[in-house]
Amino acid sequence: MDGLLIIDKPASMTSHDVVARVRRILKTKRVGHTGTLDPFATGVMVILVGQATRLAQFLDKDTKEYVATLRFGAETDTGDLTGSPRPGVDPKAVTIDEVDAALGQFLGEIDQIPPMYSAKKIDGKKLYESARKGIEIERKPSRVTIYSLGIINEAGNRDDARKSFDLRLRVSCSAGTYIRTLAEDIARSVGSAAHLTELRRTGAGKFSIDQAVTLEQLEAMPEPQDALLPIEMAIDHLAKFTLSEERVGKTRNGLSTRVFNAEFAGNEAIQMISESGQTVAIGFYNDAENVIQPKVVLV
């Protein structure tokens, strides 16, 4: 059983919980995922099954898309609704127009300080492990890219006395972007404070929420493996090289193949396919020797 599964993750489950549930439903242990979602978040999780688990490093997973609901008026220590209010924060009342005018400064490449409540490792220890002990760790900024950012609508829950209102944003960004941090930074830029009350991932790389199934839908299927997408979808963005019939067996044995008139970049990942179009391996192009060395053999 090999392929990709796009799951619409529910709230209150960890990414590990989702993987464990899929293992039970599909009755297979070879299940992994390509990127975690916070327990309170929902939406697209790309699940890899069988031989697809070996292809995680090759997936085109740079662009992520989210719908985020920001509650202005208060920050929390986690940056979302699961945390405790951060003391000493006295935000001013702001308008939606002020927020909208500030969004432009966050487009393009920006620096973010990773939140303490995150799985990012420093000196081999996850930041959230220190955060739970009340320990603040110095973090270096990370460079991320915001491709698009815009207001969808006001989401209700307005409380003028508390300078509080909810605003729903659509974000397209590079992998590694912390939407909680983005929410805080947007609010601070207009003299306010905010935290996330909802976060829904609507896209990851080429995969969208329209392709997703819920865990309940998967469990109810007579043949849940029918929900699997072809393994080739994980790698069809890679350049292709067609092997002659006599090179297929040698590639499966790990031998490199010389290429002529190659237009590949040095160390570029290449999909090595048979004449019938079957993926045999993923290899890397060595421009010094003009060969493709198989890295992951699939068949």
Structure tokens at 72: 């202005």
% the chain with pLDDT above 90: 68
Q: Tens of pLDDT along 177-214? A: 999 999 999 999 999 999 999 999 999 988 999 999 99
Structure tokens at 107: 């487009």
Superfamily name with CATH number, domain 3-61+206-233: Pseudouridine synthase (3.30.2350.10)
CB-neighbour burial class of residue 33 (10 A; exposed 0-12, middle 13-18, buried 19+): buried
DSSP 33: E
pLDDT at 249: 92
Give, in words, the CATH class of 238-297: mainly beta
Q: Are 167 and 115 in contact (CB under 8 A)?
A: no
Residue-wise pLDDT tens digits, 72-115:
999 999 999 999 998 878 888 899 999 999 999 999 999 998 88
Q: What is the pLDDT of residue 262?
A: 77
Distance CA 68, CA 79 (A): 12
Range with lowest mean pLDDT among 106-110, 123-127, 188-192, 237-241: 123-127
Poorest-pLDDT segment among 113-122, 143-152, 159-168: 113-122
Considering the chain, tell me which residue range(s) the CATH 2.30.130.10 domain(s) occupy: 238-297
Q: Rounded to whole angstroms, how far apart are CA atoms 3 and 211?
A: 14
Amino acid code (one letter) for 80: D
As annotated, the active-site residues are 38
Indicate whether 116 pLDDT > 80.
Answer: no
**Which residues belong to CATH 3.30.2350.10 in the chain?**
3-61+206-233, 63-204
**pLDDT above 90 (res 235):** no
CATH superfamily label, 63-204: Pseudouridine synthase (3.30.2350.10)
| H or E stretch covering 66 | strand 63-72
Rounded to 5, what percent of the chain is helix, strand, coil? 25, 35, 40
